[in-house]
Amino acid sequence: MKNVRIWFKKDFECRYISHLDLNRTMLRALHKSKIPIWHTEGFNPHPFATFPLPLSLGFRGVNECMDVRLEDDDYSFQEISERLNACLPRGIRVFDVTEAVMKAGKVAFASFTIRVGVPDKPSSLVAAQLDRLLSRESIEIEKKSKKGMKTVDIKPGIHAYKITEQFDVAVLDVLLSAGSSDNVNPNLLIEALTRETGMAYEVDITRKCAALHSVVSSISRFATMAITTSAAPHVAATPTTASASLASRSSVE
């Protein structure tokens, strides 16, 4: 029995499926691949898989992962990767399999690249708007909760950002709080922007990676790293280069 972490990209058509659908698709691919994975015991045994941090519908993910427990240790990581890709839709591609070094439940940050544009408006305008919003002391947002609408300040959850311009869109690279307690969904940022300017933005969001709290002793150092690798997101696509991501075997300190 061995826990493994399966690394994949979620893009193209598969961008548009929910976390639950992704879960089903992954389990079905595992079943089809005949890689023996551990099933829960009980009345209705089902294959066991965990995702450290669900990805919202519509986002691309370039460093997503899922943990499963293998019942048979004979499979090489290479073989798992190949077998799974043969069973997955083209929008999900496994690019690495590693040992599950750190506990998945302790995700605290996630970094995103958000491309924002408005048809027929220059990227400089949007970049300036983003800059103005993010320079604020607080960014308040109306959030639906069980007890009705609630005002939340998302500013403390924004740890670092960088705004650049690329052709007709502004590109925001940002490090946000993530996980079960203080999650900031990047859609909230866009919502705040829309409320402020009244413009209809076209938005394309990519999650680059998620990181553990324990890994990051100094947020600012991690932030600098997360932001700089973001200029060329494909560089961060393998867990070895995105060293602060869940795959890291040595921490960033």
Partner 1 sequence: MVSKEVERLLLKVQKPGRYVGGELNEVIKNKRDVEVRFAFCFPDTYEVGMSHLGMKILYSQFNSVPYIWCERVFAPWVDMEAEMVKHRIPLYALESGDPLSAFDFIGFTLQYELSYTNMLNMLKLGNIPLTTAARGDELKHIVVAGGPCACNPEPIADFVDLFFIGEGEEVDLEVMELFRTCRAEGVDKPAFLRRCAQIEGVYVPSLYETAYNDDGTIQSFTPRDGAPAVVHKRLMLDMDTSYYPDTFVVPLVEIVHDRAVQEIFRGCIRGCRFCQAGFIYRPVREKSPETINAQCRALCDNTGYDEVSLSSLSSSDYSQIVPLLEQLTAWTGEEKVSISLPSLRVDGFTDEIMNKIKTVRKSGLTFAPEAGSQRMRDVINKNVQHDELMQTCATAFAGGWTTVKLYFMIGLPTETMDDVADIAHLGQDVVDTYYRTPNHAKGKSVRVTVSASSFVPKPFTPFQWEPQDTIPVLHEKQQHIKASITSRKLQFNYHDADTSFLEAVFARGDRRLCRVLALACERGFHFDGWADCFDLSKWMALFEECGIDPAFYANRRRRFDEILPWDHIDYGVKKSFLIEECQKAYENTTTPHCRLACAHCGAAKYGRGVCFEKRQDLV
Binding site for partner 1 (CB under 8 A): 12-14, 16-18, 20-21, 24-25, 28-33, 39, 44-45, 47, 57-58, 87-91, 202
Minimum distance, C-beta of residue 71 to partner 1, in the bound complex (Å): 12
d(CA 114, CA 107): 20
All residues at 6 or more sequence positions from 227 whose CB lies less than 8 Å from its CB, including other chains = 111, 160, 161, 162, 173, 175
Q: Which residues lie across from 98 on neighbouring strands?
A: 5
Minimum distance, C-beta of residue 29 to partner 1, in the bound complex (Å): 6
- Taking 3-state DSSP, the helix, strand and coil percentages for the chain, each rounded to the nearest 5, stand at 30, 35, 35
Nearer to partner 1, 12 or 122 (CB): 12
Query: How open is the CA angle 180-184-185, to the nearest 5 degrees?
Result: 105
Nearer to partner 1, 24 or 213 (CB): 24
- Under 8 Å between Cβ of 2 and 37: no
All residues at 6 or more sequence positions from 203 whose CB lies less than 8 Å from its CB, including other chains = 114, 115, 116, 190
Minimum distance, C-beta of residue 179 to partner 1, in the bound complex (Å): 24
The size of the chain, in residues, is 253
Amino acid symbol at 36: P
Minimum distance, C-beta of residue 10 to partner 1, in the bound complex (Å): 11
DSSP tag of 14: G
Minimum distance, C-beta of residue 249 to partner 1, in the bound complex (Å): 32
